[in-house]
Amino acid sequence: MKVALIGYSACGRSTLYRAAARGLAKGDVTAVPVPDDRFDRIVAQVKPKKQTPATVILHDDLDPIQGVGKAFSLKLTDAAKKAEILLHVVRGFESPVVAYHDDVDPLRDQEAVDVELVLTDLQIVENRLERLRKSPTIKVSGSPDYLEHDLFERIRQPLEDGTPIRAMELSEDDQTVVRNYQFLSAKPMVVAFNVSEADATNPPEKLRKRMEELAKRDTPAFVVCATIEEEIAQLDPADQPEFLESLGLTEPASAKVIRAVYSAMGLITFFTAGENETKAWPLRRGSNALKAAATIHNDIAKGFIRAEVVHYEDYDAHGSLEAAYAAGKMVLEGKEHVINDGDLLHIRNKS
């Protein structure tokens, strides 16, 4: 689950990267645990020999975007195409070291990057349409070239109007074609407005409105103060709650960003709770029990018999798996049962 951090020079991208990595960063690529209180409570109760949280892989190795109105470098574009999701860090704080412009305008910067993503995809669409028009099968109804031409003609106008592909209503077949081209504006995106400490606790009205607008386009957006977030990450865990309370926060904003990234990728979490290892497993939302079994191990999926399922709320209410089982809260489900976020599973299989 590759997460590419993008942003203009001096936006604080690397600072947020280090903060989100919570002291784990060793270089510019780091596996970052997804904060999850449910997993923490399960681990505290089970006390396993090994605990394995769900993770996302943060990449802070992309070229910075050089300036508003400038096209992305080929190196940046190629690297971003390989990511599953983009985390756009936007400067919203005063800084004397900004090469491309002096004034702070996070709304302009956020919109400019969105426009560039759309223009990059529009160029691909137009080039592809030009080649398709020369195809001998373009008028053969149902042929691959006919279907692709139809799709690209449908998405061209919205792209010209500035609409990213991720905000378009496309069928599953359309989505399959889109994925083949690795369109940048089709990728899920999370926006982090990197602001001053004061604005982090009380964002300006214009930022609030922009975040609401982005949310309506399925683009989660947050305000963070990356320098404060990095300070929090460097504190001893026992000292963090008091420091957070002094800032009027209940948790680091970077934790919200990581959870938003995870959710924006269409992922939920199920758990396996064992004394040897307790693990949080990422799973595509809407997946069934057989897919969950395959996530654990292909051999378990091949020998699948039934899934023992306990909803997290029932586990939490009774305090342990044993107590939840005793209270009749375990349900046996078949292969097609859709897994809910937070379910605790044990797969019965032919070993």
Residues whose CB falls within 8 Å of the CB of residue 245, separated by 6 or more in sequence, listed in order: none
Q: In this predicted model, which residue has the larger pLDDT, 13 or 250?
A: 13
Whole-number Å distance between alpha carbons of 83 and 3: 6
Structure tokens at 345: 């599973």
**For the residues 33-53, what does the mean pLDDT come to?**
96
Whole-number Å distance between alpha carbons of 214 and 136: 42
Q: Which residue has the tokens 């279907």?
A: 147
Buried b (16+ CB within 10 A) or exposed e, 164-195: bbbebebeeebeebbeebbbbbbbbbbbbbbb
Give the domain 2-264 fold.
Rossmann fold (3.40.50)
Buried b (16+ CB within 10 A) or exposed e, 154-163: ebbebbeeeb
What is the pLDDT confidence band of residue 96, given thresholds at 50, 70 and 90? low
Chain CA centroid to CA 199, Å: 24
Q: What is the average pLDDT value for the chain, to the nearest integer?
A: 92
CB atoms within 10 A of CB 202: 11
Res 70 pLDDT > 90:
no
Q: Domain residue spans in the chain?
A: 2-264, 286-349
Residues whose CB falls within 8 Å of the CB of residue 111, separated by 6 or more in sequence, listed in order: none
Residues whose CB falls within 8 Å of the CB of residue 266, separated by 6 or more in sequence, listed in order: 188, 284, 285
Given this chain, do its domains 2-264 and 286-349 carry the same CATH topology? no
In this structure, which CATH number among 2.70.98.10, 3.30.70.270, 3.10.180.10, 3.10.20.30 belongs to the domain 286-349?
3.10.20.30
pLDDT tens by residue, 214-242: 998 889 999 999 999 999 988 888 888 88
Residue 100, SS3 per DSSP: coil
